[in-house]
Structure 1
C-alpha cells in the first residue's frame, strides 16, 4: 500500500538515525558510503561536512542527483531519499554547522583549504515502516513460513519533500 505522507514524519525518522548511506555515481558505478547528517528541516536541507579532496565531492561535482538511505532495523524503519546534492566551500555555512565531531575529522577547521560542504535538497522520500518489534517480526516470519506466503512488510509511503 502506498500513501502520500507528511515531510515531518520523514524528518522525525531521520533524527532517530543520523547516519546515511550516501550513494553517488563514480565512473559509471554506484558507490555508497556512510556519512553523518546535519539535518535542517526548516531549510529542507541535509548537510554533510567532508574533505574537498574526497571521492564523493568529485562524484557530485557542482551538482548531481544522489540517494540517501537511512535505517533503524531495530524498529523496522527505513527511509530512501531521492535528492539533489551540491558542493561548496561556503565558509559562513561551514562555520554555522561546525561541531566537535567535524573537528575530529577535519582538524584544520571550517576555513581549511580541504574542508567542503555537501548540501542536499531532498525531493522525494520513500518510507518503510513495518510497525513491529523484533519479537513480532519473528512471529510474522514463522507464520509466513508455516503458510508458505510472504509476511506483511508493513506500509510504504511516498512523501514529496
Structure 2
C-alpha cells in the first residue's frame, strides 16, 4: 500500500464515526465504523429495522460513507458496496460497550444487524488536525504565505 493508503487507514482507525447511506438515496445517517484494513472494509453495527438495513438486498448496494473529523485531520468521502452480514465471529470481535448501549439483550439481541462496507474508492483530505490548522493560519498571517492544509488525494481499493 502507498503512504496515502497508510495515512487513510491510520486516520480512519482514529476517527470513529461518519455519515452512511446508499448512493441511490440522499439521506445519510450517523454511524460508527470499525475498520478492517486487511479486508478493505468498514463494519457497522445497526438494528435490523432501520431504513438502511431494510433497504439492503442480497449482494449489497452501492453506498457512501462521509467522515469529517477536524480533530483527527481527516475528511473523506468513501464509496463501496454495503451489504448485510451474519458473520457472528466478526460481531464478537467488534462488540463493545457503545454497541451494547443500543441493544437490550446485548449481541444476542435478535435486532442486531452487522453491515459490511467493501470499499472501492475514496477521496481524502488529510490535514494536521485542528492545532496544525491554527498554526498554519497564524503562520500565513506572519509570512504572507498560503497555509499548508495537508494532502488531497484519491484511493482505489
Q: Provide the residue aligned with 2:4 in structure 1.
A: 6
C-alpha displacement of 1:128? 1.0
Q: For the structure 1 residues 59 and 125, does the alpha-carbon distance in structure 2 shift closer, same or farther, using more than 3 Å as the test?
A: same
**How far apart, in 1, do the equivalents of 2:115 and 2:55 lie?**
11
Q: Count the aligned residue pairs.
A: 151
Q: Say if 2:16 is the partner of 1:38.
A: no
C-alpha displacement of 1:74? 3.9
Q: Provide the residue aligned with 2:134 in structure 1.
A: 134
C-alpha displacement of 1:125? 1.4
**Greater RCO, 1 or 2 (C-alpha within 8 Å, sep 6+):** 1
TM-score w.r.t. length of structure 1: 0.77
Q: Say if 2:95 is the partner of 1:101.
A: no
Q: Provide the residue aligned with 2:153 in structure 1.
A: 157
The answer on whether the counterparts of 2:133 and 2:149 sit within 8 Å (CA) in structure 1 is: no
The answer on whether the counterparts of 2:76 and 2:125 sit within 8 Å (CA) in structure 1 is: yes
RMSD: 2.7
| Mean Cα deviation higher: 81-90 or 70-79 | 70-79
TM-score w.r.t. length of structure 2: 0.79
The answer on whether the counterparts of 2:66 and 2:77 sit within 8 Å (CA) in structure 1 is: yes
Query: C-alpha offsets along residues 76-135 of structure 1, whole Å, 9 cap, x if unaligned?
Result: 431111111111333332223221221111122223221110001111111113444224
